[in-house]
Homo-oligomer: A and B are copies of this chain.
Amino acid sequence: MTEHEKIVLFAKALQDENRLQIIEMLQSGEKCACKLLEHLQIEQSTLSHHMKILCQSGLIAWKKVGKWMHYSIHPEEAKKLLHLLQSLTNVKDSSLNQLETTISNSSCQCDHPAHKGTAI
């Protein structure tokens, strides 16, 4: 899987409001599907679908315990995915800490003469 494919899977996992709620619920630690379902206005089959997408993105880890399925945020994978997004968007770790401005090349590289030396 290429880096772009990983990012696409991650992005697709995050594009649904219900899945964001699920991730938020997992912030406080591992939960089973039935517990998650209590707080969502969706049917069980839909939750199962969402968990599949979240797990396939790598962000969420799962573990079968008896007949229950336990889900949790996968910290290492979450970090890897965020690193991919940092690289993609040119955001540096240090600037993330300090909310500094990332320095980027601001000259237009368009061939058109009219574009030379422009900056946003």
**Cα separation A107 to B63 with both chains bound (whole Å):** 13
> Which residues on B sit within 8 Å (CB–CB) of A86?
82, 96
* Cβ contact within 8 Å between A104 and B85: no
Q: Which listed residue (B72, B79, B120) contacts A63, Cβ 8 A?
A: B120
Of B61, B70, B99, B119, the residue contacting A30 (CB under 8 A) is B119
- A interface list, Cβ under 8 A from B: 4, 7-8, 10-17, 20-21, 23-24, 27-32, 34-35, 59, 61, 63, 65-66, 68, 70, 72-73, 75-76, 78-79, 81-83, 85-86, 88-91, 93-97, 99, 101-102, 104-112, 114-115, 118-120
Number of copies: 2
